[in-house]
Chains A and B, each alone.
Chain A
Amino acid sequence: DGGITQSPKYLFRKEGQNVTLSCEQNLNHDAMYWYRQDPGQGLRLIYYSQIVNDFQKGDIAEGYSVSREKKESFPLTVTSAQKNPTAFYLCASSMGWGGPAGELFFGEGSRLTVL
């Protein structure tokens, strides 16, 4: 079935460690996105990519890094520079790469807890 797969679903990290969250899609979508969600709040945009080898900072990019080497994959690294990384991370994709964003398809999320 087509969709977006995020892994791991739950992740625990010690302070000072970098962690990488995986996001893979088989929808043949050009655009991919990473959002962060804190308890009881909306989504905030971390990074997005419209095509392979290109990505743009969102509203809260500090302490995060991404790569887009393949169309299907858009991993997110949460670095030790991120001051408050405990959150629910959501990856999404959408068709096309020009014009306004259309419907986003979301993965099931990865919950990161810093111990």
Chain B
Amino acid sequence: SQQGEEDPQALSIQEGENATMNCSYKTSINNLQWYRQNSGRGLVHLILIRSNEREKHSGRLRVTLDTSKKSSSLLITASRAADTASYFCASNRDTGRRALTFGSGTRLQVQP
């Protein structure tokens, strides 16, 4: 079963605009992570936010976590054509299973 569901499924913006992607999950978590995947490639880790954190920044990335709503958002500011990729959230369920459960992803297209 898919623990996380991203919204929107696809997003197209112009260079310089901000991109916001949302993720919802069903069970309580230890941490939530965001990954990026270029077409046909492996995933690359972007950022991890723990269940006791509400916001985290890394360069042009800003992640928020609302455990009461079981949701997270990823904001990419001042987007570039090179940001074109699929973005996935992944959560660590608070069940003792030491493995990430991934959402279905948001495909971001940044037009130059």
A residues near B (Cβ < 8 Å) are: 4, 31, 33, 35, 40-45, 48, 50, 56, 58-59, 88, 90, 92, 97-109, 111
Contacts and interface: CB of A to CB of B under 8 A. Distances in A.
Contact of A43 (B1, B44, B102): B102
A103 B104 contact: no
B105 A41 contact: yes
A42 B104 contact: yes
Contacts of B43: 43, 90, 92, 104, 106
- Size category of the B interface is 20 to 34
Interface in B1-51: 1-2, 4, 30-31, 33, 35, 40-45, 48
Interface of B: 1-2, 4, 30-31, 33, 35, 40-45, 48, 88, 90, 92, 97-105, 107
Given A42-B88, A43-B88, A109 B41 contact: yes
A41 B6 CA distance: 11
B98 A42 contact: no
Closest 10 CB pairs of A and B: A106-B42, A100-B30, A100-B92, A43-B102, A42-B104, A42-B102, A103-B45, A106-B43, A48-B99, A108-B42
Contacts of A40: 107
A42 B100 contact: no
A105 B46 CA distance: 11
Contact of A103 (B40, B48, B101, B102): B48
